[in-house]
Structure 1
Amino acid sequence: MYQNAPFVIDPTGADRHAEYRALRARGPAIPVDVLGLRAWAVSDPALLKTLLTSPDVSKNGRVHYPDFQQTIRTWPLALWIEVQSMLTAYGADHRRLRRMVAPAFSARRIARLKPVIESLVAELIDELAALPPGEVVDLRERLAYPLPIAVIGHLMGVPEDQRGDFRQIVDNVFDSTLTPEEAQANAARLFKATDQLIATKRRDPGDDMTSLLIATRDEEGDGTGFTDVELRDTMILMINAGYETTVNVIDQAVLAMLRSPEQLDLVRTGRAAWADVVEETLRAEPAIKYLPLRFAVTDIRLPDGQVIAQGAPILAAYGAANRHPDWHGRDADTFDVARKAKDHLAFGYGVHFCLGAPLARLEVAEALRQLFDRFPAMELAEPADALRPIPTLISNGHQRLPVRLRPAG
């Protein structure tokens, strides 16, 4: 299946940019080791787009991955291929599941959320403004985390007393340093918490997406609705994707602005907009570095003559593809909000493109606007190079984002 010794993906994500360069230098698609699982990492954007839109590539490991049963018992990231939702569906099943979820992210519903998001951001900013000048604040903890949790909690109808539990569980879903046993225990907690939320909303439905999904499950008995497992796993997908990824984009966007005052000046002088900052962040520092996994439905011959054999796993290397010089030129590694073409794969591509993209963009842009309006003298409290990444090969964020909102005196 593989012609060369695999390149080992670092599970801690210690130096993502060096890893991206190493992947690209080895070719458009190369054999890799992902926590002991052999796969093909695709870092060339043109090839990746082709594969992401090809019927020869599936996300349904139950059907198209011969080692599925063994993998879900022993692989730390098994949950990513084990769940049964539109994340892992293929063909008609994917279209069926996406059709039922799409109403949650309609333009009208997102428009209704805009004043809610503005109010939530304002509350968080007011809390920050009450802190003494000179105090060091972890903005990941005080802004990047609570905003998406509150928004997805509002959208899904998660009671406030359950949101803290979901945060820790979701963080662990993205942690690629857990042992298989730790990951399995965390998955069990996630299933239990989601089942509890479903039971709560069945007893007391509201104007939220969980209640809508439950109603869809209960009313459509002709085989076109959700199964019980699909309902649970769809909710898991929406909570995971709506929370963790947005945390990281806020984190990376704030850091980019603080380490590049000239970029911030472009926004303040009207030569760029906060929407430009959001898109360039998504391009240069996407929330998801690698997304596991897809599978070859049949043998796939690559342009360089290599063959991805039927059943082989495929790892979408979004971070490396977004910074590819064939796509964004020799300065692809440079963060530039004035860049004319900010195309990226941060939200995926093709039929699996993220439905929540408009919501994420709205949250990040509003958080940035209010934060930098209120604290124009904000500065990093530690050197940017000293900030440690969260320990994962999937997510792209930092363990802390310490800043001084207002210099002392």
Structure 2
Amino acid sequence: MANLSTECQLTDLEQQLLDRAAELVPYLQKFGTMIDEERHIPEEVIQKISDAGLFKLGTPKEYGGHEVGIRAMVEIVSEVAKGNGSVGWVVQIINGNNYNAALSLPPGVLDSIYNTVEEIRFCSVLLAQKAVVKKVDGGYLVEEGLWRFGSGSKHATHALLNLKDVKSMQESKAVEMMLAVVPMSEVTIVDDWYTMSLKGSASNSLEIKNVFIPDKYVVTHQEGSLPAQLQGRDRYRPYGQLIIIITTGISAILGLARGAVEYFVERAPHKGIAMTVHTSQAAVGHIQYKVGLAAMKVESAHLHISRTIDQLERHVQNTEPFSLKEMAQLQTDMTYAAMLCWEAVDLLMAESGGSVIADSNRLSQIFRDIRGGSNHALTTASTGLELYGRVLMGLPPQHLMTIGAASVLNGARGRVT
């Protein structure tokens, strides 16, 4: 499927990276069944992604990364996800987290992390299931901590973990997060990722017991006004929570939906309809309608994503805070886009006959992966639509990310109504 409004908006380097991702799609598709059966991405595939430079999309240039724009990141990750959902999800998570780390951590901390020969890859969990943390001299002692859904952790060098758990975040209304950088050597990966969806993402739980984290590796997102003097990448720093919403959820979902439409269209001329005289789906009117509807849903999803990125870039360039309505719209654009993508794949699944239920069928794999991806906390449509409806009707937001971002951008704790 053609990518809307991207050709003239990518730099030469970004286009090269997008082309590399596109070249990998047939290669990744060959690993679909293996990845699901073995519940992890083979090291051979990880190395191929690394060699193409696709784990460095969000890494700062001064540390050997590409530091691509947010629009380019969405497009490149989307292309990877067309090859395989689990691979796309891991590439999305690592790059989104690398970008978040670059915005969140002080230069000295980044210097100490990137002062190695290995490729730095962050996984993250932004809400602890359980965190027993004590402030001690020089840092924090994590006596016990559990973080669920650590996507990409098997291929990460570091974890970016919120030291606040569900209860404390809800009680404080998520005004701030305490993000800690923890080397994966200090983290236990719990093998509990047994799912129907995104099996190869190995989004296992992460566990820490009696680990000391120095002060300099713990960053608290504080509220405050927008500093006009920020330059370069730092201009994006106050918008970090909103950028997380864009970079760590929707890209892989968009790519899965694009891949589903392409796969169905490729097969339709050569596939009949059981128990009918039709020898080609492509010649049947109601199939043509469904394909057209599915394609329009995916393209409409991309338009919502593009609108969000345009709004973000405008606010960054003008050093403007988001209004509460704009924040709610940004979040809802992502969740609504995910819903449109899921609906597109569901339409095609319904017209694919009995063979589509086979685990090895590529559309079946896409169907399972996009269903799980669309249930992510940042892409659940019902949560986003509730948020937008509440704000439109003058009610305070119920979404913790909205509350936290509003506090940071508006410089007033809790002033979100």
TM-score tier, shorter chain, comes to: under 0.3
Higher RCO (Cα < 8 Å, 6 or more apart): 1
TM-score for both structures, normalised by structure 1: 0.27
TM-score for both structures, normalised by structure 2: 0.26
